[in-house]
Amino acid sequence: MSLRLPSEIVVEDVLPTLRVLLARELADHGLTQQEIAAHLGVTQAAVSTYVSGDPSVEARIADHPRTAATVERVADGLANDEMDAYDALAAVLELVRAFEDRGPICELHEEAMPGLEGLGCDLCVRGVNPELRTERAVLDSVREASRVLATTPGLAAFVPNVGTNVGTALPDAESRSDVAAVPGRIYVMDNSIEVPANPEFGASAHVATTILAAMTVDPDRRGALNLATDDAFLAAARDRGLDTMEFDAGYENRGDRLSEQFEERGSVPDIVFHRGAFGIEPITYVLSETGADAARLVAELVAATES
């Protein structure tokens, strides 16, 4: 992965596009190429290319309505002597800062550095801090879990019709928005595991509910994934000495009911499952410290069912 600063995106993609658009707008206001060159800090030859040639522009910047509004405002101000260089620069900087915060600059930066995907430009806008490092670790855990599941032989047979999801919660998580999971769930296509998207916070309902219930009793149980309930899988878990618990399949107050059962037991089991009900598919949840840990455990248990 190449290391690219957001300032490089601004210099290489944003400013060239803004110069082209400003040059054309200033030309429409009747300014000469020499006057435009003076305003933009470029050569007259460059202005000629901007106005009459076919210069490359970044469409996500050029086509953004905020860009159009800023270019028009700056060009009007410069052409009518209502703006000086300071005012024009301030307007452009305001646009750049807006685009850096979950805008097109953020999108371009993620393309240049895929490792930033899903972080919402928090690194650029807010800088490095412990909370962001924790969020990144949680997202990385779900990414790792997805890779493990996608490469586990035989897993497709255990994916329920509703799909599988895997989640990891932030420490001290209080709601599903504090739990990262895979949007759209993991599903089977042509007997292969398909992961449709990178993890996001708030992308899970049922897995997040199970994790949050577990954390009320054991704050270290921050990861879980769901599978179809399978007797051979449960037998493999028990043979390994893992703690299992059956619960009622109903959705109503499921989190509260799970929390109560965990509290009554005085611990959180490794595996919780139900046998289904009318309109509810039988589902098993594997719990661990992180989603990645749960995925690795699932891979081992799936292998044990085939031995």
pLDDT of residue 15 exceeding 60: yes
Other CB atoms closer than 10 Å to residue 256's CB: what's the count? 12
Spatial distance between the Cα atoms of 155 and 188, rounded to a whole number of angstroms: 9
* pLDDT for residue 119: 55
* pLDDT for residue 168: 98
Q: Model's pTM, two decimal places?
A: 0.62
- DSSP for 70-101, written as a single string: HHHHHHHHHHTTS--HHHHHHHHHHHHHHHHT
* pLDDT for residue 290: 98
Confidence class for position 122, pLDDT limits 50, 70, 90: low
* pLDDT for residue 128: 52
Spatial distance between the Cα atoms of 109 and 86, rounded to a whole number of angstroms: 27
* pLDDT for residue 305: 95
Domain boundaries, the chain: 6-124, 130-306
Both structure tokens of 41: 């800090």
Alpha helices in the chain (DSSP H): 6-9, 15-28, 33-40, 44-52, 59-62, 65-79, 85-100, 104-112, 122-126, 130-150, 206-215, 231-239, 254-265, 291-306
Per-residue pLDDT tens digits for 255-289: 999 999 999 999 999 999 999 999 999 999 999 99
Confidence class for position 98, pLDDT limits 50, 70, 90: confident
Q: Quick one: what percent of the chain has pLDDT higher than 90?
A: 71
* pLDDT for residue 300: 97
* pLDDT for residue 10: 83
Q: Are 118 and 100 in contact (CB under 8 A)?
A: no
Rg of the Cα trace of the chain?
27
* pLDDT for residue 125: 53
Residue with more model confidence, 284 or 106: 284
Fold annotation for 130-306: L-fuculose-1-phosphate Aldolase (3.40.225)
Per-residue pLDDT tens digits for 220-254: 999 999 999 999 999 999 999 999 999 999 999 99
Length of the chain: 307
Collapse the DSSP code of 211 into the 3-class scheme (helix H, G, I; strand E, B; otherwise coil) and give the result: helix
pLDDT of residue 37 exceeding 80: yes
Spatial distance between the Cα atoms of 260 and 118, rounded to a whole number of angstroms: 34
Residue 204 φ/ψ, nearest 5 degrees: -130, 145
Q: Which of 126-135, 205-214, 263-272, 291-300 has the lowest mean pLDDT?
A: 126-135
Spatial distance between the Cα atoms of 9 and 301, rounded to a whole number of angstroms: 46
Per-residue pLDDT tens digits for 72-87: 999 999 999 898 888 8
* pLDDT for residue 299: 97
* pLDDT for residue 123: 57
Mean pLDDT across the chain: 90
Per-residue pLDDT tens digits for 196-214: 988 999 999 999 999 999 9
The helix (run of H) or strand (run of E) holding residue 194 is: strand 192-194
Mean local confidence (pLDDT), 20-46:
93
* pLDDT for residue 11: 86
> Nearest 5 degrees, angle CA 44-CA 71-CA 20?
35
Mean local confidence (pLDDT), 96-107:
77
Residue with more model confidence, 156 or 105: 156
Q: Are 169 and 178 in contact (CB under 8 A)?
A: yes
Mean local confidence (pLDDT), 136-156:
94
Q: Which of 93-102, 107-116, 185-194 has the lowest mean pLDDT?
A: 107-116
Confidence class for position 103, pLDDT limits 50, 70, 90: confident
